[in-house]
Structure 1
Amino acid sequence: MKKTLTINISGTIFHIEEDAYEELQKYMVVLKKYFGKDDEGNEIFADIEARIAEIFTEKTSGKNQAITLDWVKELIETLGTPENFSEEAGEEEPLAGQKTRKRKLYRDPEQTVLGGVCGGLAVYFNMDPVVIRLIVVLIALLTSGAGILVYLILWVAVPKAVTTTQRLEMKGEEVTIKNIEKFLKDEVDAVKESYKKIRKSSFFSRRKS
C-alpha cells in the first residue's frame, strides 16, 4: 500500500500518492519558474492550476481513489512542458492527417447582445455573429415567435465560456500550457491596444483638456 497525501489544487482537495505528488510538485515548480512572479505570469499559472484541478476532478469523479503517478504523467503529456514550446514554435497549422479538436458550444461573453447565444453559435460554426443574429431573427419571424423560445432554451441550457479552458474548447483548441499562455497574452495585448485607441480618441483629448 502506497502512502497518500492530501493537497489543495486551485481550491479543490485531492488525495495523491506520494510518488505522484513528488512528480507533480517538480512539474509545478518548473512551470512557476518559467512563467515568473509578475502579475501576468501568476495569472497564467493560476489558469494552468485550475485546468489541472479540472482534469483530476474528472478522473476522480465518483471514485474513491487517490491520484496516481500514471495520472500525473498523463497530465504532463497532455498539457506539455516549457521544453516542448521551442519544438512546437512555428507549427501554427495542423499537419496533414492530424486531427483537430472538436469545438464545444458555449455562450460567448465577448459577442454578447442578450445572452451570448448567437456569438457562441458563430464561433461554433465559424460564421459572422451578425449573420447568425439575422438568421435567428428570420426564424423567429417565420415561426411566429417559436424561434425566440428556442433561443431562451439555449440561453439556459448552454453554459457561458467563463474560464480559459472553456474559451479554448469553444474555439476547438487544445487546452495545453502553450495555448493557455498564448490566449491570456493575446487578451492582455487586446486590452492594451484598446486603451491606446481610447487615449488617442478625440473624446479622451477633450476630457483631458
Structure 2
Amino acid sequence: MKRTLTINISGTVFHIEEDAYEALQKYMVILKNYFGKDDDGKEIFADIEARIAEIFTEKSGKKNQAITLEWVEELIETLGTPENFSEEAGEEEPLAGQKSRKRKLYRDPEQTVIAGVCGGLAAYFEMDPVVIRLIVVLLALFTSGAGILVYLLLWVIVPKAVTTTQRLEMKGEEVTIKNIEKFLKDEVNAVKESYKKMRKSRFFSKGND
C-alpha cells in the first residue's frame, strides 16, 4: 500500500499518494514560475489552483479517495503545460463542421439587468442578449405572466457563472491553463480600456476642472 499525505488545494483538503504528490508539486512549481509573482500572475494561478481542486473533488467523490499518480497525469494532460502554449498558438482554428465543447447554462454576471438570466441564455444559444430580453418581455405580455414565472424559475434554478471555470463553460470553451490565462488577461484589459474611456469622458474632465 502506498504512503499517503494530506494536502490543501485552494482551501480543500485532499489525501494524495506520495508519488502523485511529487508530480503535482513539480507541476505547480512550473506554473508558479511561468505566471510570475505579480498580482496578475497570482490571480491566474489562484484560478488554476481552484480548477485543480474542482477536478480532484469530482474524482475523489464522497469516499474522499486518495489522489493517484494517474489522476495527476490526466490533470496535466487536460489543463496543459506552458511548454504546450507555443505549439498550440501555431495550430489552425477548428475546421467548419467540427464539434465544439458543449456549453453549460449559467446566469451571466457580465450581462445583468436583473439577474443575468437573459445574458446566460444569450451565451448558451449564441444570440444577442437584447434579442433574448425582447423575447422575454413579449412572453410576459402575451402569456398572462407565464413568461415572468419562467424567468423567476430560471433565476432560482440556474447558477450564476462566478468562477473562471464556469464562465469558460458558459462560453463553450475548454477549461485549460491557456484559456484561463487568456480569459483573465482579457478581463484586465477590458477594465483598463473602460478606465481610459472614463478618464477621457467630458464628465471626468469637468470633475477635475
Give the TM-score, by structure 1 length. Answer: 0.98
Deviation readout 1:115-172 (Å, 9 max, x if unpaired): 0000000010000101000101111111100110010000000000000000000000
Percent sequence identity is 87
Q: Which amino acid aligns with 2:107?
A: R
Q: Which amino acid aligns with 1:63?
A: K
1:90 is displaced (CA, Å) by 3.9
1:2 is displaced (CA, Å) by 0.2
Q: How far apart in 2 are the matches of 1:30 and 1:2?
A: 25
Q: How far apart in 2 are the matches of 1:173 and 1:197?
A: 29
User: Which residue does 2:9 correspond to in 1?
Assistant: 9
Contact 2:15 2:64 in 1 (8 A): no
Q: Which amino acid aligns with 1:93?
A: E
Q: How far apart in 2 are the matches of 1:116 and 1:92?
A: 34
Q: How far apart in 1 are the matches of 2:95 and 2:10?
A: 34
Q: How far apart in 1 are the matches of 2:146 and 2:122?
A: 20
Deviation readout 1:13-32 (Å, 9 max, x if unpaired): 00000000000000000000
Listed as ranges, the gaps of 5+ residues in structure 2 are: none
Listed as ranges, the gaps of 5+ residues in structure 1 are: none
User: Which residue does 1:185 correspond to in 2?
Assistant: 185
Q: Which amino acid aligns with 1:62?
A: K
1:40 is displaced (CA, Å) by 0.2
User: Which residue does 2:158 correspond to in 1?
Assistant: 158
User: Over the residues paired in the alignment, what is the CA RMSD in angstroms?
Assistant: 1.1
Evaluate the alpha carbon distance shift between residue 96 and residue 22 of structure 1 in structure 2; reply closer, same or farther with a 3 A threshold. farther
1:96 is displaced (CA, Å) by 5.6
1:56 is displaced (CA, Å) by 0.2
Q: How far apart in 1 are the matches of 2:90 and 2:123?
A: 24
User: Which residue does 1:77 correspond to in 2?
Assistant: 77
Deviation readout 1:89-120 (Å, 9 max, x if unpaired): 04462246643110000000011010000000
User: Which residue does 1:148 correspond to in 2?
Assistant: 148
Q: Which amino acid aligns with 1:61?
A: G
- SS at 1:65's partner residue? coil
User: Which residue does 2:37 correspond to in 1?
Assistant: 37
Q: Which amino acid aligns with 1:195?
A: Y
Higher mean C-alpha deviation, range 163-172 or range 137-146: 137-146
Q: How far apart in 2 are the matches of 1:149 and 1:57?
A: 35
Q: Which amino acid aligns with 2:159?
A: P
User: Which residue does 2:172 correspond to in 1?
Assistant: 172
User: Which residue does 1:126 correspond to in 2?
Assistant: 126
Deviation readout 1:41-69 (Å, 9 max, x if unpaired): 00000000000000000001122410000
- SS at 2:122's partner residue? helix
- SS at 2:109's partner residue? coil
The question of 1:25 aligning with 2:25 is answered: yes
Q: Which amino acid aligns with 2:114?
A: L
1:38 is displaced (CA, Å) by 0.2
Q: How many residues are aligned here?
A: 209
